[in-house]
Amino acid sequence: MASQAETLTDNESRFLISDLCRVLEEYLEPDQVQEVYRAYLFGAEAHEGQHRLSGEPYIYHPIAAARILAELKLDAKSIVAAILHDTIEDTPTAKEHIATEFGEDVAELVDGVSKLTQIKFETSAEAQAENFRKMILAMVRDIRVILVKLADRLHNMRTLGVMRPEKRRRIARETLDIYAPIANRLGINALRVELEDLGFAALYPLRYSVLEKAVREARGHRKEVLNKIEKSIKRRVRQEKLHGRILSREKHLYSLYRKIRDKTLSFEETYDVYAFRIIVDDVDTCYRMLGVVHNLYMPVPGKFKDYIAIPKGNGYQSLHTILFGPYGIPIEVQIRTEDMDKVAESGVAAHWVYKTGEENIDQMHAGAREWMRELLEMQKHAGNSLEFLESVKIDLFPDAVYVFTPMGEIMKLPHGATVIDFAYAVHTDIGNTCIAARVDRQEVPLRTTLRNGQTVEIITAEGAHPSPAWLSFVVSAKARSNIRHHQKNLKREEAIMLGRRMLDRALGIFDSVAAEVDAVRLQSLLREYHLDAQDDLMEEIGLGRRPSVLVARALVQAEDGTDEGGESRTMPPLVIKGTEGMVTRFSKCCRPIPGDPVVGVITSGRGMMIHTQNCRNIADDKYNADNCLEVQWEPGIDEEFPVEVNVEVEDRRGVLAMVATVIGDAESNIENVGIEEGDGLTNLLKFRLAVRNRKHLATVMRRVRNIPSVIRISRARG
């Protein structure tokens, strides 16, 4: 095989693959290492002639990504997939070829990481969102997809310096917004920390260099204090005859930066915290060690967190406490077992690494599986890829709040969660029918933000529905996606009802109704339109995607091609009600009210807008029979409608109050008022009033016109 592997003489290339194999030999079987090397030969040939922007052969990148996974001690198939991860996307190699050579599992992993290159998108944001959606769905099937992608992204971040500044910033922002939080959500701390620091350095290079210099200068002054605290802890541990490794640690730069930014602290306030990690043999010793450090230094009230009893969603377990150290210096202490420490660094990757601590790994995997199940549910409810990406970003916020159900069950919610978020976390039906709530037995508004330790009780009512206003305060992706899903279903139901009325009206021309349409002809039309059911056709009509006249004509068309009852007829007007819905809306440009001659304009995807017949904004639409429908008001509407009125008045003190009083006496409510100053002698008052119909509006205008200071009054028109 005349491959790139055979022709390359560069020592570094030889070193890279041999170095990778040496790492793999520490934990893989010889035949598995041989399979990885065979994948290297395959990938090198596929990428032959390709180079990165740095000028080095492209095969360097897949080997580096595989090395990252090898350091996490992932299985052989993951390593092979990492070496081949760009072959489908960047070379003529087909997925089927990879499946034949290396098996279906490897082919699925490589395909899951590959971008959608064969589809053209209107915007780069849409392309990014759709590729992300594809990767997440592949990850739900096999979580190793995201591990390969994280390794790919980490090496790209390490070599980001050769990119153009704008592309460098875009990739860094994407890394900080998506990939680092995913690594955190899956508990892979080793990758998360480096992704965050590299993203920080690329996105804010000046801030990074300033903070790095400040840390470097301050580090020397801290050594003496660190040594003193460490010696004190070790001395007390020996006295209590306990055993454990005591390590001092530093926050990484991005974590420091985020704390400075979010809490508006100075560097000195943020960096003046001394952190230690104590690693012991078992859980019992963790709690005994906690007592030791609490006896040595006074704990800060309210700053103790037990992540052993209640692990984080990514499986992380540890005891966290903050102490008052010598000279009042704050000391952060984490206490965990060896197994917990390994899981904290490797997260879901620990499944392939460690045979000990199975309980920890099972808990972590249960959390990962639950998250992936939620992702799948979000994907089903999301209207498009951009909305799905937004929901996932919201879901990746790491902070959590722990509250209780009335039965004492612990529920974990994202930071800032409200009563509605809790209701949806319990069950989707509970969220959809929620009408009230009690927190610690006290009734509270639905937008109430929850705090740790509270007990929450949800009150539901049959037939209740979620309000669109909830979207303004819910924070969990599950609540947001379910509320949006319900609204879309509601819109669909309204569109189906409107479409059915419009089709019946159009069929009236041909002396027919929908119930009398030939079933065979209807099924034929559905196949022609690529629709599954009659309701889908009605929705298309209601949303303006298919003109009702053309659908009606197609449904009654005779076999010889002529129309049954084909003489020209006038289409009867569609009766509209006074309630503005999600599919039938009243235009804000002319604000029609009962009594106005009106017309309905169909806009594709948005439904029908009701305008007055003389509205200037529909001058072109009135000549389009497919888009413009004659409509009329339902008799006896007993509702109020907004209408805009302009009142020109003399510039006198108290004239606004006088006009407002007269409007109120005429039983009209003022929804909004604006004032435009005129030439010093007059002003223009702009009112938005609530009236019942044209007759009511005429009464209001007549009474206002009788005020001596009123020069002119007119209704604002589109």
Catalytic residues: 89-90
Q: How far apart are CA 602 and CA 707, in angstroms?
A: 42
Find out whether 493 and 536 touch, Cβ atoms under 8 Å: no
Neighbour count for residue 699 (Cβ, 10 Å)? 15
Q: Are strands 607-612 and 584-586 parallel, antiparallel or unpaired?
A: parallel
E-state strands within 308-374: 319-324, 330-337
Q: How far apart are CA 596 and CA 593, in angstroms?
A: 6
Amino acid residing at 143: I
DSSP state letter for 21: H
Helix (H, G, I), strand (E, B) or coil at 387: helix
Instruction: Using CB atoms within 10 Å of the CB of residue 299, give its burial: 0 to 12 exposed, 13 to 18 middle, 19+ buried.
Output: middle
User: Token pair for residue 248?
Assistant: 């001092």
User: Strand 598-603's sheet: what is its strand order?
Assistant: 574-576, 628-633, 598-603, 607-612, 584-586
Amino acid residing at 48: E
User: Token pair for residue 437?
Assistant: 């709530």
β-strand partners of 683: 649, 677
User: Token pair for residue 148?
Assistant: 């390969």
CB within 8 Å of 95: residues ≥ 6 apart: 88, 107, 110, 111
Task: Give CA separation, 445 vs 439, 449, 470, in Å.
Answer: 10, 9, 12
What is the 3 state secondary structure string of 56-76?
CECCHHHHHHHHHHHHCCCCH
CB within 8 Å of 374: residues ≥ 6 apart: 395, 477, 478
Rg (the chain; Cα; Å)? 34
Find out whether 219 and 274 touch, Cβ atoms under 8 Å: no
Q: How far apart are CA 269 and CA 238, in angstroms?
A: 32
**Tokens 């992300």 — which residue?**
132
Closest CA to 130 of 114, 149, 152: 114
Q: What are phi and psi of 706, to 5 degrees?
A: -80, -10
Instruction: Using CB atoms within 10 Å of the CB of residue 215, give its burial: 0 to 12 exposed, 13 to 18 middle, 19+ buried.
Output: middle
Find out whether 42 and 52 touch, Cβ atoms under 8 Å: no
Find out whether 43 and 35 touch, Cβ atoms under 8 Å: no
Looking at beta carbons, which pairs linking 267-272 to residues 24 or more positions away fall under 8 Å? 267/211, 267/214, 267/218, 271/214, 271/215, 271/218, 272/329, 272/330
Find out whether 476 and 425 touch, Cβ atoms under 8 Å: yes
Handedness of CA 616, 618, 621, 623 (dihedral sign): negative
User: Token pair for residue 444?
Assistant: 């509270």
Find out whether 471 and 368 touch, Cβ atoms under 8 Å: no
DSSP state letter for 53: T
Q: How far apart are CA 643 and CA 590, in angstroms?
A: 8
Task: Give CA separation, 176 vs 113, 195, 204, in Å.
Answer: 19, 7, 12
What is the 3 state secondary structure string of 173-200?
HHHHHHHHHHHHHCCCHHHHHHHHHHHH
